[in-house]
């Protein structure tokens, strides 16, 4: 009998083989796990969809996607709003300068200009409603704010006055828009103080052209810190970007995410007017020590293959990048040049760490993820109107093959490890 605690020579011969099998079946699992925390140095550029603004326009910001039967042959159109140097209160940025923003639609596949629409004021939030087939824009995010519903076919804009006025003592407006299940959620930007609402739900009265605002939660609401697990009181000073997390994503499915840009925080909540929302707050950091990342663009991968559209405000471009291999649930974020650290990267929703891509941008703003549909070589050609904007997530999430494979490989790996243990016990009993 071998010495106690010392494996027999037969076990030493068999064990490596079993362990080799375990390592082989487990290696794909390690690959899948690494993909969810991948640090690829760059995203492959598919094309520069828009290389320059229309003549006389500048400063593209948000981005939206919509298919309109009577426009562009029903093919998907990418929309962006050129702010044209207008001040945040709607006044001209220079003497005699423009006071109208230009909402422009481009063919999502070719980049060909489809439509230009003028709206009065600075268009800061832009989204699309696939149910109504309309574009929705917020105007003048700091004060004198209003909302416009735009018919992409006719170019007609209908303006809505807010009730109550989001401004207090002359400070306050509306910014980013998230539309889900017919609900319109608006970021309350430039608040007068921390007692103001952070998010409104807007109800539109078409007869009076009034947008009635109901607070969802406040700048000083109670929340749970994702970073520490502790209870905190929010102190939001700059609610900016709204985004509804896709229903099938691994983290915060269906939650409303709001970025408080100057605070470097993202708040996740379940939109509801019937109950106090449960708030969780994530503090974010990037590759620059001491920087508060001024996240503006936000998009989530809903398939393992797709296209990420990036609006670069300073360059005046819209670029399309291939995201193949990035798993469902990957969060893409963009930081404009506010803090001299412009980047697009991925965000870890557990740690708040942003890992930048090596792609170079002048000042990235709106982001839009479009999943590739099976059988379509170009995702932009095969998408539908239900996949809309970086602030809208009403689509059904597609399960990625890599996620399914990861589960299968994981099960096999566990089985292999179990075989090692069983083999060891059986051999010791025989000895």
For residues 49-55, average pLDDT:
98
Q: What is the pLDDT at residue 79?
A: 98
* Domain edges within the chain: 9-35+406-430, 45-399
pLDDT at position 77 over 70: yes
Helices (H) and strands (E) in the chain, counts: 3, 26
Structure tokens at 64: 């939206």
Band (48; pLDDT cuts 50, 70, 90): very high
β-bridge pairing 256-260 and 265-269: antiparallel
Give CATH superfamily name and number for 45-399: TolB, C-terminal domain (2.120.10.30)
User: Which residue bears the tokens 């002359």?
Assistant: 170
SS3 430: helix
In this prediction the pTM is 0.80
Rounded mean pLDDT of the chain?
A: 83
pLDDT at position 382 over 60: no
Task: Catalogue the long-range contacts made by 113-120 (C-beta closer than 8 Å, 24 or more residues apart).
Answer: 113/54, 114/71, 114/72, 114/77, 115/71, 115/72, 115/77, 115/152, 115/155, 116/54, 116/155, 117/150, 117/152, 117/155, 117/157, 118/155, 118/157, 119/81, 119/148, 119/150, 119/157, 120/90, 120/157, 120/159
pLDDT 10s digits, 297-336: 999 999 999 999 999 999 999 999 999 999 999 999 999 9
Better-predicted residue by pLDDT, 395 or 69: 69
- Under 8 Å between Cβ of 71 and 324: no
Which run of H or of E encompasses 413? helix 401-430
Question: Which of 339, 305, 297 lies closest to 322, judged by CA?
Answer: 305
Band (255; pLDDT cuts 50, 70, 90): very high
Q: What is the pLDDT at residue 397?
A: 31
């Amino acid at each position: 009998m071998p010495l106690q605690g010392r494996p027999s020579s037969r076990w030493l011969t068999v064990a490596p083989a079993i362990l080799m099998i375990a390592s082989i079946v487990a290696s794909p699992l390690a690959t899948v796990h690494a993909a969810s925390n991948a640090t690829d140095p760059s995203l492959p550029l598919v094309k520069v969809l828009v290389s320059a603004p229309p003549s006389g326009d500048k400063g593209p910001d948000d981005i939206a996607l919509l298919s309109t039967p009577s426009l562009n042959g029903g093919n998907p159109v990418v929309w962006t709003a050129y702010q044209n140097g207008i001040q945040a209160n709607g006044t001209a940025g220079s003497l005699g300068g423009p006071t109208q923003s230009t909402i422009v639609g481009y063919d999502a596949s070719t980049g060909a200009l489809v439509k230009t629409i003028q709206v009065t004021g600075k268009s800061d939030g832009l989204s699309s409603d696939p149910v109504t087939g309309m574009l929705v824009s917020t105007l003048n995010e700091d004060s004198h704010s209003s909302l416009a519903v735009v018919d992409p076919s006719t170019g007609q804009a209908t303006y809505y006055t807010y009730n109550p006025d989001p401004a207090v003592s002359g400070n306050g407006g509306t910014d980013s828009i998230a539309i889900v299940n017919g609900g319109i959620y608006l970021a309350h930007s430039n608040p007068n103080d921390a007692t103001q609402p952070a998010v409104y739900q807007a109800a539109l009265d078409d007869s009076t052209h009034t947008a009635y605002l109901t607070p969802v939660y406040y700048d000083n609401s109670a929340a749970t810190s994702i970073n520490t697990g502790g209870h905190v009181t929010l102190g939001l000073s700059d609610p900016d970007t709204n985004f509804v997390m896709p229903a099938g994503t691994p983290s915060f499915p269906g939650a409303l995410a709001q970025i408080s840009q100057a605070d470097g925080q993202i708040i996740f909540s379940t939109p509801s007017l019937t109950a106090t929302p449960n708030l969780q707050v994530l503090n974010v950091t990037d590759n620059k020590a001491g920087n508060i990342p001024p996240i503006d663009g936000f998009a989530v991968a809903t398939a393992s293959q797709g296209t990420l559209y990036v609006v670069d405000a300073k360059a005046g471009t819209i670029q399309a990048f291939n995201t193949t291999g990035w798993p469902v649930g990957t969060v893409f974020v963009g930081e404009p040049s506010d803090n001299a650290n412009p980047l697009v990267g991925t965000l870890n929703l557990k740690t708040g760490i942003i890992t930048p891509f090596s792609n170079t941008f002048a000042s990235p703003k709106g982001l839009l993820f479009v999943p590739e549909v099976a059988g379509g070589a170009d995702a932009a050609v095969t998408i539908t109107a239900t996949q809309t904007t970086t602030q809208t997530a009403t689509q059904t999430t597609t399960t990625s093959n890599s996620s399914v494979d990861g589960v299968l490989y994981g099960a096999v790996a566990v089985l292999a490890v179990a075989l090692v243990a069983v083999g060891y016990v059986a051999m010791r009993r025989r000895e």
